[in-house]
A and B are shown apart, each in its own frame.
Chain A
Amino acid sequence: MSLLAHRTSPLWIAALIHRLSGLGLAIFLPFHFLALGLAISGEARLENFLRWTDQPLVKLSETLLVGLLAVHMLGGLRLLMLENFAWRGGQAWLALSAIAAAAVIAFLFLASMF
Chain B
Amino acid sequence: MNVRLYIWQRGTALLLLPLLLLHLAVIFYATRKGLSAADILARTRGSVAWALYYGVFVAAISVHASIGVRTILAEWMPLPARMVNPAAILFGLLLAVLGIRAIAAVVLP
Contact = CB atoms under 8 A, between A and B. Distances in A.
Given A33-B101, A36-B106, A77-B17, A112 B31 contact: yes
A47 B20 contact: no
Interface residues of A, number: 37
B1 interface: no
B41 A22 contact: no
A26 B13 CA distance: 14
Contacts of A25: 65
Contacts of B13: 76, 79-80
Interface in B52-107: 61, 65, 68-69, 72, 91, 94-95, 98-99, 101-102, 104-106
For the complex, would chain B's binding face be called helix, strand, loop or mixed by DSSP majority?
Answer: helix
Given A109-B28, A112-B32, A37 B98 contact: yes
A54 B10 CA distance: 36
A50 B38 CA distance: 11
B37 interface: yes
Nearest to B14: A80
A23 interface: yes
Nearest to B91: A26
20 contacts: A25-B65, A26-B65, A26-B91, A29-B98, A29-B99, A33-B98, A34-B102, A36-B106, A37-B101, A38-B105, A39-B40, A46-B37, A46-B40, A46-B41, A66-B27, A69-B20, A73-B20, A73-B24, A80-B10, A105-B24
